[in-house]
Amino acid sequence: MIKTDVLVIGAGPAGLFAVHQLGLIGLKAEVVDNLDKIGGQCIELYPDKPIYDIPAISECTGESLTKNLLEQIKPFKTNFHLNERVQEISKDKKDWKILTSKKKIFISPNIIIAGGVGSFEPRKFPIEEAGKFENNGVYYSIKDKNYFKNKKICIFGGGDSALDWAIELSKFAEVILIHRRNEFRGTENSSKTVKKLEKEGKLKIKTPFQINSIEGQGKINAITIKNEDGKTEKITTDCILGFFGLIMKLGPIADWGLNLDKKHIPVNTENFQTNKNGIFAIGDICTYPGKLKLILSGFHEAALAARACFKNAKPNEKYKFEFSTTSKNMQGRLGINKK
């Protein structure tokens, strides 16, 4: 059981900046995210896309913004619980009890929901056997590329993730890239690179094919793929990787008894509290008149929600407004002695 001042759901830009604002006023946060990496939409959907509307940064990318947000919260030594979804929330005396998909329990007087458009889940292979082999031969993300060294791998998909991993893994594994169309959706550069690698005999490409079946007992031995004319082909392989994009679902958030308005959580704009005391919502998931789904709005919302958390976390202390330069929490973390 982990006790904390604030449990932040979602490690997108709003959740990350909330950690900063909480740290600044001396509150400890734990962050849970369903994805295997930090950064929310910025990292999952557009790591390389330029962003031009972050105040005082003329241009950055989804990836560099995430890196900078992480750098900014470094002094607060925050714990991230990735690959973990918040499933249930219940009242535990004055606190909230939060249960995750890995059965981890958090106890906290405050919850900040920074869940964006909900939890992202990979789109999966459309055949039943794929479920049997999931994480044991069937994968939808790569946590450690070294695991695939010298293996026979079939990569399915035509977008950037499929192409980028085909290029990367072909350096040390036997890769077959399979896509249901002849044209790839990924960037021109990646498409050209996979075709060049095919010419050089460094990987194989099979199009237009889709998965038809998986064979194996306990582990995968082979798969069959099928084209539009019904022609099938058997391929021996150690594993298959599916990169078909993500499904966005509000997920369990919808079952927590919060008021909802078309998959968004209405909030009081004074403190971004929801209809439940101690539960706040910021970023893309919250709604109020005039809401703009922009990163900068999430930052403002995070600042106000963080201050509202103070009263619940430290009921016997009075919150005192300070600028970041003079905040004792910031100075202490940076090793500066406040006079």
Ligand X SMILES: Cc1cc2nc3c(=O)[nH]c(=O)nc-3n(C[C@H](O)[C@H](O)[C@H](O)COP(=O)(O)OP(=O)(O)OC[C@H]3O[C@@H](n4cnc5c(N)ncnc54)[C@H](O)[C@@H]3O)c2cc1C
Kindly state the smallest distance separating residue 94's Cβ from ligand X, in Å. Answer: 23
Interaction of residue 256 with ligand X, rule CB under 6 A:
no
Q: Which of 46, 147, 172, 319 binds ligand X (CB under 6 A)?
A: 46
| Residue 239 in the binding site for ligand X (CB under 6 A) | no
CB of 294 to ligand X, least distance (A): 4
**Does the footprint of ligand X cover residue 194 (CB under 6 A)?**
no
45 binds ligand X (CB under 6 A): yes
144: exposed, middle or buried (Cβ count in 10 Å: 0-12, 13-18, 19+): exposed
Q: Which long-range contacts (CB under 8 A, 24 or more apart) does 97-104 make?
A: 98/7, 98/32, 100/32, 101/34, 104/2
117 binds ligand X (CB under 6 A): yes
Look up residue 187 and give its amino acid.
T
> Which of residues 4, 21, 41, 190 is near ligand X by CB under 6 A?
41
> In Å, how far from its chain's centre is CA 33?
6
Give a three-class secondary structure readout of the chain: CEECCEEEECCCHHHHHHHHHHHHCCCCEEEECCCCCCCHHHHHCCCCCEECCECCECCEEHHHHHHHHHHHHHHHCCEEECCCCEEEEEEECCEEEEEECCCCEEEECEEEECCCCCEEEECCCCCCHHHHCECCCEECCCCCHHHHCCCEEEEECCCHHHHHHHHHHCCCCEEEEECCCCCCCCCHHHHHHHHHHHHCCCCEEECCEEEEEEECCCCCCEEEEEECCCCEEEEECCEEEECCCEEEECHHHHHCCCCCECCEEECECCCCECCCCCEEECHHHEECCCCCCCHHHHHHHHHHHHHHHHHHHCCCCCCCCCCCCCCHHHHHHHCCCCC
* Region from 88-96, 109-117, 145-153, 218-226 binding ligand X, contact rule CB under 6 A: 109-117
Q: Which is nearer to ligand X, 85 or 223 (CB)?
A: 85
By CB under 6 A, name the one of 6, 7, 8, 11 that touches ligand X: 11
Q: Considering only residues 259 through 288, tell me which ones interact with ligand X, judged by CB under 6 A.
A: 283-284
Contacts with ligand X by CB under 6 A: the residue count is 38
Among 6, 42, 239, 304, binds ligand X (CB under 6 A): 42
Can residue 75 be called a binding residue for ligand X (CB under 6 A)? no
Report, in Å, the least distance between residue 31 CB and ligand X. Answer: 9
**The two three-digit tokens of residue 21, written as one number:** 């604002």
239 or 281: whose CB is closer to ligand X?
281
Q: Which of 81, 40, 27 is nearest to 285 (CA)?
A: 40
Residue nearest to ligand X (CB): 116
The reply to whether 23 sits near ligand X by the rule CB under 6 A is: no
Rule CB under 6 A: say whether 78 interacts with ligand X. Answer: no
Nearer to ligand X, 167 or 295 (CB): 295
Nearer to ligand X, 62 or 157 (CB): 62
Position 293 contacts ligand X (CB under 6 A): yes
- 294 forms part of the interface with ligand X (CB under 6 A): yes
Q: Establish if 116 lies at the interface with ligand X (CB under 6 A).
A: yes
Residue 86 as a binder of ligand X (CB under 6 A): the answer is yes
Considering only residues 119, 237, 273, 287, which one is a binding residue for ligand X as defined by CB under 6 A?
A: 119
109 binds ligand X (CB under 6 A): no
Task: Note the residues at the interface with ligand X (CB under 6 A).
Answer: 9-15, 32-35, 40-42, 45-46, 49, 51, 53, 85-86, 114-120, 251-253, 283-284, 293-296, 298
